């Protein structure tokens, strides 16, 4: 018995090792935005032990990007007010996000109804226990289209 069990434990440990520390961790956030300027989540949780975080955005409405554009921007909560103000200044040509702004930790494309967009970024851009917010940077949306991004170990 002992010789049968030991190899399986070793195999299990080896699988844990090769799959990284992300087993059971939240590495993906699935968000939906609609024509009523709402996200489906007010809060999301990810784990800093993931290799990468994936944020998926689906626009479930019908309105075009110019009228009801949505994206998902992740930033430190104290940066959100300044970043969303500068996003409006950046204008439609820049997808309502200042290009190369270091306050943007990650951002999806700005999309319209029926479209989807994703972004992946290294999980170590986030710190466990840090204060992060996800929001839409389309003009006038950040006030309601936002939520807390909680980061666990």
- Return residues touching Zn ion (CB under 5 A): 70, 136, 138, 141, 145
Dihedral pair phi/psi, residue 57, rounded to 5° = -120, 130
Decide: helix, strand or coil at residue 100: coil
The CB-of-68 to Zn ion minimum distance in angstroms stands at 7
DSSP count for the chain of H helices, then E strands? 3, 8
| Residue nearer to Zn ion on the CB measure, 2 or 36 | 36
CB of 27 to Zn ion, least distance (A): 24
Which residue number, 26 or 139, has a Cβ lying nearer to Zn ion? 139
CA distance 87 to 70: 13
* Residue 148 CB neighbour total at 10 angstroms: 14
User: In a 3-state reduction of DSSP, which class is residue 35?
Assistant: coil
Nearest approach, Cβ of residue 34 and Zn ion (Å): 9
Name the residue with the smallest CB distance to Zn ion. Answer: 136
Distance CA 57, CA 13 (A): 35
Give the β-pairing of 106-107 and 73-76: antiparallel
Residue with Cβ nearer Zn ion (48 or 55): 55
Task: Give 26 or 38: the residue with its C-beta nearer to Zn ion.
Answer: 38
Compute the least distance from the CB of residue 108 to Zn ion, in Å: 11
């Amino acid at each position: 018995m002992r010789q049968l069990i030991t190899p399986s434990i070793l195999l299990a440990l080896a699988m844990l090792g090769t799959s990284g520390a992300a087993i059971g961790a939240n590495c993906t956030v699935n968000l939906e935005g609609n024509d009523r300027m709402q996200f489906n989540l007010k809060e999301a949780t990810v784990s800093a032990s993931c290799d990468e975080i994936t944020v998926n955005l689906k626009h479930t409405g019908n309105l075009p990007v110019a009228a009801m554009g949505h994206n998902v921007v992740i930033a430190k909560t104290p940066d959100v007010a300044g970043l969303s103000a500068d996003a409006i200044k950046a204008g439609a040509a820049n997808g309502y996000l200042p290009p190369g702004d270091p306050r943007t930790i990650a951002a999806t494309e700005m999309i319209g109804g029926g479209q989807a967009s994703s972004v992946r970024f290294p999980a170590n851009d986030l710190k466990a226990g840090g204060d992060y917010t996800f929001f839409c940077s389309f003009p006038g949306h950040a006030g309601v289209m936002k939520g807390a991004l909680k980061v666990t170990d």
